[in-house]
Amino acid sequence: MKKIFIVLIFLSIIKINEAQIQVGVVLGPQFPVGGFTDAFNSGIGFGSTGKYFMKENMAVGTNLHYNYFTGDRYYNEGRNRAAITAFTGMFQYYFSTDKIKPYAGGDFGLYFWNWRWYTYYWINPAGNPAYGYYHDNGTALGFAPSGGITYDITDKFVLDGNLKFNLILTESDLNYLGMNLGLFYKFDK
């Protein structure tokens, strides 16, 4: 009963018939930070985002993003690689309601990762070269403070650029900074 009451209060605050929904795709370079830079170079990220505007200057939504990083080859045998998929909820606050809208926000959710890191080269007992590597995969909570700017190209299309610092709460140091550019379609009232 308590949950139903909270939902009803939330819905009474939002004017459903005046709400705007935006869906879009996002693409951009991703840059490892901290210990993640020891074995990996910048990568690429892409994904989809859906936003629901509770008010003209506040949005909530979800993200599903895939990020891929590579590193240097180790004795021409293998390339370090890491893949991180983020499934997060988000909140954005817009500082303007004009055609150009700067905003700040954040994401919180699950990060799924796997990586392989080639670390050493040795000659096995048969006299052949062998390569050693570490690998790991897992799931962890993470959050990503962000800031960006949107530009209304037309009444239906929005261009969005942002910086997002992804902090994954795990012992594997997999934090990264994303520079993302997205194109969104508006579903108005």
Asked whether residue 10 is assigned to any structural domain, the reply reads no
List the CATH number of the domain containing 47.
2.40.160.20
Domain-embedded: residue 1: no
Please report whether residue 47 resides in a domain: yes
- On the question of pLDDT at 100 being above 60, the answer is yes
Q: Calculate mean pLDDT across residues 126-135.
A: 71
- What number of H helices and E strands is found in the chain? 1, 8
pLDDT tens digits for range 34-87:
888 877 899 999 999 999 999 999 999 999 999 999 887 655 566 788 999 999
Residue 8 lies inside a defined structural domain of this protein: no
What's 57's DSSP letter? T
Give the integer Cα–Cα distance in Å for 27 and 30.
Answer: 9
The residue segments making up the domain with residue 34 are 20-187
Total tally of structural domains belonging to the chain: 1
Q: Is the pLDDT of residue 7 over 60?
A: no
Q: Decide if 11 is inside a domain.
A: no
Contact 80, 39 (CB under 8 A): yes
